[in-house]
Chain A
């Protein structure tokens, strides 16, 4: 029996993607004077949407970077137990290397979050049912923040969710999400993941609680925080999570132009069908969402949201869905060592899951490559939630997406968001009698910004915002 998560104390974004709230705006903030910022946070905590409320008419969530947490000036003990990933941030040199953020994706070139830009302290996420409601609510929230000395560094607008939801390359996105045991209603066993993989303070897939800031009792005299179930100390991490935000720009024109070049017949004829078929092999699903492993030859609306499948029994060698396809790398299900096709293999996959809460930005793209035309900025504000940034987000990006050696391959990084330190530009389509290989496939996405955040539980928000208690005296 899994531990029940105290959903009243968890921010809503953990349990739901707010699909019913198609309009969203993310604002990057800089914190001013600590006293004023804490007053803002005290007040805001009452408006933050908790995870136990279904179908809210609008929602506000908030998260802090390491510098933001420090700017709130909590007692020093409160800053002790945060993981090195949060403290160093996404732009630390080794992290940059493992994440593949080099060349046009290097932090030095980022629009925000890089070494040249102002330090991001906080992220305010506002969701609403329509454009008007969003702009009203976002303006109110921004006024509340700026009224307390915070400064808006950047507004990240998002594309309203469509039905079905497609990212800019034209593919259904966000189909596969983990079911959080003890928070979500029961789901498919293979998708059901221990709460502690996403929510701090609960047992994770190894049966342990992920390390998090647990304070000495003296640091929480008012008893605002939940208690650490193991040692009884005030638990600042409990019911919180870590949020990774990455702005990933998509070159939609380049994407389809390459596909066109790569699929022309010997006679030079262009084929829309062939372009889509190749792109589907990169992704592992058809534009409509049907997984290639279930429907290798054509899109199938009946399978648009099909997620109950595995790889090993039907397709161990990638003849239906290439071994290097995006979804097969990001979520290998039962296809990896040890013992592919068994529960042991799925157990490994479960230790590297992410809750994805990203939203697209920029105007919806048409599939026609705009020859030579200036394209508007488009992409994805990628958001992932997990309890362990290193074992989940970073591992996934480095070992499964960027790694040209994934699943026994030689030189294939993920075409969609993979960037290897060197090489990795091939894409192998396993086949009979023998594979087909594309070499020198360009990258169609670049990272434009990013940061690691701690998204506290609601009681932790009140604690961080509590009156008067600065770090100096405590």
Chain B
């Protein structure tokens, strides 16, 4: 059984060391997988990883916020196991990266490094996984399987063949190959323990929901009115937003090099306890919904996100959003607007600079240009970004899994065989 973990490490950078750190990260930019500092390609079970440098800034009241180094990875298994692997594979490369941070041991030992990483590890407030329980190893193996089958199909003219014959020929190919025997078994998926965990949470949620229902029915209209009051008040306020920079170019320079792109953005939560609380609750809802509802192939209709997460920074004054998505930023933003404007409004609408919302879910992202400006002006350059399968879209990954599932199971009806062959 394998669930994925969204490993999140946030550390404060010593004021005088920011430029050094930027140089180190810069040296890793071109080759996240194999660079000598922290070769992500050598770590087992990693889907995605990134290093972000948040510059020193001020908050909405003008209080200074120190520079921060953020390490994010999406891994199979537990965060604890990943940290162990990171220390083992990273060695003194970790010193070069995290050595610039406050509290890093001056003379690092493996134990000291691990202790530092553990001390700065936090749980994201919400994490989305495209398909819960699908390991990076499975993704890579199934991509290789698909390549083998496609190459095999290219070698013959199949016109006039019966679908059943084609399927049988593919099954024979897989059966004849020692290196493909794994494909004849179904993917392990969540396994019993994982299923149990999900179901336990599900039942707890239902019970909790039933218990809270009377309270919610009374509270919800009141909360909505409060939201609307805040929205109207905020519409009249002008908040100077220190996190908004139109620095699109350094970001765009690193975009669209491969099929996937990283997205990182940071913004301030609107002032006041009400907004902070609203966002805290909503992120909890997103987190649970990602696990319970949107746990296979799509997030509210969006099929292009591999992993995403949100987490608070600076005592909930700021939120960082990070995702790994397919295609261009323009199409990613369009997807958001076309499919989940309501969801974006509910979550991002608590952020300073977001186009005005109405009743939490209306308005907002529907003002396409203002919404795109909001995202672009809060986007951060991702200094180091690693993907274990940069040339696969989430749709490809899912299709590959279905191809494998077809290999692993009995042929099925003629219709099913046809539908399966259409995946090739």
Contacts and interface: CB of A to CB of B under 8 A. Distances in A.
Interface of A: 84, 93-94, 97-98, 204, 206-208, 210-211, 317, 337-338, 344, 347-348, 351, 390-391, 394-395, 398-399, 403-405, 408, 410, 421-423, 430-437, 439
A97 B256 contact: yes
A208 B334 contact: no
A210 B369 contact: yes
Contacts of A423: 391
B141 to A, nearest CB: 16
B422 A208 contact: no
B424 A435 contact: yes
A337 B303 contact: yes
Contact of A405 (B166, B327, B421): B327
A207 B366 contact: yes
A432 B418 contact: yes
Interface of B: 150, 153-154, 158-159, 161-163, 165-166, 248-249, 252-253, 255-259, 301, 303, 326-328, 330-331, 334, 337-339, 366-369, 391, 393, 395-396, 399, 418, 421-422, 424
Given A337-B303, A437-B150, A437-B153, A94 B334 contact: no
Given A433-B165, A433-B421, 18 more contacts: A94-B249, A94-B252, A94-B253, A94-B255, A94-B256, A206-B337, A206-B366, A208-B368, A208-B369, A337-B301, A344-B338, A405-B259, A405-B326, A405-B393, A408-B395, A408-B396, A423-B391, A434-B166
A399 B328 contact: yes
A405 B395 contact: yes
Given A98-B256, A206-B367, A337-B301, A433 B328 contact: no
A392 to B, nearest CB: 10
16 contacts: A98-B328, A206-B368, A208-B369, A337-B339, A338-B338, A395-B334, A398-B331, A404-B259, A421-B257, A423-B391, A430-B422, A432-B163, A433-B162, A433-B166, A433-B421, A434-B421
A395 B259 contact: no
A205 to B, nearest CB: 9
Contacts of B421: 432-434
Contacts of B161: 433-434
Given A211-B369, A433-B162, A433-B166, A338 B418 contact: no
Contacts, number: 99
A348 B368 CA distance: 13
Contacts of B368: 204, 206, 208, 391
Nearest to A316: B422
B366 A437 contact: no
Contacts of A210: 369
Contacts of B249: 94
Contacts of B396: 405, 408, 410
A391 B369 CA distance: 10
A391 B166 contact: no
A399 B330 contact: yes
A382 to B, nearest CB: 20
A198 to B, nearest CB: 16
A351 B338 CA distance: 10
B339 A338 contact: yes
A405 B325 CA distance: 13
Nearest to B255: A94
A348 B395 CA distance: 19
B411 to A, nearest CB: 13
A93 B338 CA distance: 29
A172 B281 CA distance: 57
A439 B150 CA distance: 11
Given A206-B368, A434-B424, A398 B399 contact: no
Nearest to A266: B157
A435 B303 CA distance: 24
Contacts of B154: 437, 439
B256 A398 contact: yes
A395 B395 contact: no
A398 B256 CA distance: 10
A410 B253 CA distance: 25
A395 B331 contact: yes
Given A405-B395, A421-B256, A434 B153 contact: yes
B331 A84 contact: no
A403 B159 CA distance: 29
B232 to A, nearest CB: 20
A62 to B, nearest CB: 27
A227 B257 CA distance: 43
- Chain B CB within 10 Å, residue with most, of A338, A432, A433: A433
Given A98-B328, A391-B334, A435 B369 contact: no
Contacts of A405: 259, 326-327, 393, 395-396
B353 to A, nearest CB: 16
A76 to B, nearest CB: 18
B153 A391 contact: no
A404 B326 CA distance: 11
Nearest to B398: A408
Nearest to B150: A437
Contacts of B257: 97, 421
A84 B251 CA distance: 15
Given A337-B303, A434-B424, A395 B158 contact: no
Contacts of B391: 423
A207 B341 CA distance: 15
Given A208-B367, A337-B301, A433-B162, A403 B327 contact: yes
Contacts of A351: 334, 338
Contacts of A398: 256, 328, 330-331
A408 B397 CA distance: 10
Contact of B330 (A348, A395, A410, A431): A395
Contacts of B162: 433
- Chain B CB within 10 Å, residue with most, of A98, A347, A439: A98
Given A433-B166, A434-B424, A390 B330 contact: yes
A394 B328 CA distance: 10
Given A398-B256, A434-B158, A391 B326 contact: no
B248 A84 contact: yes
A266 to B, nearest CB: 8
Nearest to A388: B369
Contacts of A390: 330
B421 to A, nearest CB: 5
Contacts of B339: 337-338
A433 B163 contact: yes
Nearest to B248: A84
Nearest to A205: B368
A204 B259 CA distance: 30
A218 B316 CA distance: 45
Nearest to A394: B330
Nearest to A211: B369
B366 A399 contact: no
Nearest to A93: B253
A399 B312 CA distance: 32
Contacts of A98: 256, 328
Contacts of A206: 337, 366-368
Nearest to A97: B256
B330 A391 contact: yes
Contacts of B338: 338, 344, 347-348, 351
A395 B372 CA distance: 14
A208 B367 CA distance: 7
A439 to B, nearest CB: 7
Contacts of B326: 405
A297 to B, nearest CB: 14
A337 B334 CA distance: 12
A227 B261 CA distance: 41
Contacts of B252: 94
Contacts of B331: 395, 398-399
A89 B249 CA distance: 14
Nearest to B149: A434
Contacts of B399: 408
Nearest to A411: B391
